[in-house]
Amino acid sequence: MSTQPSASPQRPLRVAVVGAGPAGIYAADILSKADVDVSIDLFERLPAPFGLVRYGVAPDHPRIKQIVVALQKVLSRGDIRLLSNVDYGTDLTLEDVRRFYDAVIFSTGAIRDAPLPLPGVDLEGCFGAADFVSWYDGHPDHPREWPLDATSIAVLGAGNVALDVARMLVKHADDLLPTEIPQNVYDGLRASKATDVHVFARRGPAQVKFSPLELRELGHVRDVDVIVHPEDFEFDEGSMAAIQGSNQTKQVVKTLTDWTLKEGDGTASRRLHLHFLHAPKEVVGADGRVTGLRTERTRLTGDGTVEGTGEVHDWDVQAVYRAVGYFGSPLPGLPFDDLAGVIPNQEGRVLTPEGEHLAGVYATGWIKRGPVGLIGHTKSDATETIRHLVEDVTAEGAQRSATDPDPDAVVDFLRGRDVDVLTWTEWEVLDAYERLLGAPHGRERIKVVSREDMVRYSREAIAAAHDASVGGGGA
């Protein structure tokens, strides 16, 4: 085992990518095609790859989940090694990474709820949207039970996550059966008592961040009336400029306006209310539990921003969901911006508190720029980070810094720490098993939820296949 950095430029550059969501996979893919001889390991703390595409997209959005197909093609090529079920900071430290790799790219995303400084947010019955999404998407690190005893629910937020949360709360569980939801999620939603879900946005219809498709889908949810209120519709000069300058905004406003003219027959058993120009002021409670929500009517000020009017409304709800955005988590050994929820960086080069580049350390995706942008932004973001990494490693005088660059060394090290490392092969087995579970029910897959079961099914199936091949395939 080498104890000194290898100065030879002849061996491949060893790069670790921490986080196997879209950002990490795109970064690894772009780097693999760069004009550098490189060996890439992609680490994931969960037993399954794909990050928020698997654990952050509502199960009734299979079109978005098709992104997985493109990501699978990248990882199935074999030139990028997946090492999952490995937790950075616990199983592998920054010091360890530096031993085995010349450079590391952090793409750990943002999975926490952004803070909302509001009186009453700590009451029982006030939830973060990120936690709820993790529950209904079968995230292995979250509890499998969820309280769904509220009949009237408030959702705070004006983005697609707010719509996802509201739709999942109001939709009939039987209509989710064709999707990949785990059985416990179906059981929980089927027992839900929700009849009315209220979504509150503090600005007007022209300022919401709903995508047109997400919004239109609400109008097609079975046995659910979408209710909007004409008095919530106000447009200032900033609103008109936004409508004229963005086809997406124009479509959203048209859909919302059409709903103000539509009179439902009132026969639906559930209702989804969209409220604009209502800023949350307080989550109201009694005996430690949510009993209501207090909002203040706002008005547009001319440039698309709002100010309070002093007019207060009290809403009778028994649960509140905060869907005001995601937030990054600090990583051991790295600087962190507690206000922005990102790793401080300059175009992907991670910066020390003194503003210097932390040599060999990079970031991409939401942990780099915050939880904004779509998949296209993620690709361009990764391209920027990889460009700087390649510049650094090919600069005059650049040296390979890993002291133990043998690809087998890191795996031996992890297994020596009793880490149950899973590879792409094990994921393919688990993927096939989930599809097998769904096939009898006409579903693409049924997710295996617990970490222990994910590891066990991967291992058992591979062992069974090996035994069959050794024994000639006989039963």
- Show the tokens assigned to 119: 């009186």
Structural domain boundaries in the chain:
13-111+328-422, 112-326
- CA nearest to 104, candidates 356, 333, 327: 333
**Model confidence at 463, in pLDDT bands (50, 70, 90)?**
low
Concatenate the DSSP letters of all residues of 152-213 into one string: EEEEE-SSHHHHHHHHHHHS-GGGGTTS---HHHHHHHHT----EEEEE-SS-TTT----HH
DSSP classification of residue 102? S
Count the Cβ atoms, other than its own, within 10 Å of residue 192: 21
CA dihedral 435, 439, 443, 449 (to 10 degrees): -40
Dump pLDDT digits (tens) for 71-110. 999 999 999 999 999 999 999 999 999 999 999 999 999 9
Dump pLDDT digits (tens) for 330-339. 999 999 999 9
13-111+328-422 and 112-326: identical CATH topology: no
Average pLDDT estimate for 397-422: 96
Q: What is the pTM of this model?
A: 0.91
The fold for domain 13-111+328-422 equals Rossmann fold (3.40.50)
> Does position 397 have pLDDT exceeding 90, yes or no?
no
Q: Are 254 and 299 in contact (CB under 8 A)?
A: no
Please state whether beta strands 13-18 and 38-44 pair in parallel, antiparallel, or not at all (unpaired): parallel
- CA nearest to 49, candidates 401, 428, 432, 441: 428
DSSP classification of residue 11? S
Average pLDDT estimate for 12-27: 97
Dump pLDDT digits (tens) for 258-267. 998 876 667 8
Cα 234 to Cα 136: distance, rounded to the nearest angstrom: 35
> Does position 154 have pLDDT exceeding 60, yes or no?
yes
The fold for domain 112-326 equals FAD/NAD(P)-binding domain (3.50.50)
**Model confidence at 62, in pLDDT bands (50, 70, 90)?**
confident
- Which CA distances in Å does 430 have to 180, 267, 419, 422, 447? 14, 43, 18, 11, 9
**Model confidence at 461, in pLDDT bands (50, 70, 90)?**
low
313: β partners: 295
pLDDT of 470: 47
Dump pLDDT digits (tens) for 275-299. 999 999 999 999 999 999 999 999 9
Cα 152 to Cα 170: distance, rounded to the nearest angstrom: 10
Residue 384 burial by CB count (10 A; 0-12/13-18/19+): exposed, middle or buried? middle
pLDDT of 66: 77
Cα 342 to Cα 329: distance, rounded to the nearest angstrom: 7
Q: Where does residue 347 fall: left (phi above 0), alpha (psi -120 to 50 degrees), or beta otherwise?
A: left
> Does position 245 have pLDDT exceeding 50, yes or no?
yes
**Model confidence at 9, in pLDDT bands (50, 70, 90)?**
low
Cα 131 to Cα 139: distance, rounded to the nearest angstrom: 9
- Which CA distances in Å does 146 have to 115, 143, 335? 21, 8, 34
Q: Are 234 and 299 in contact (CB under 8 A)?
A: yes
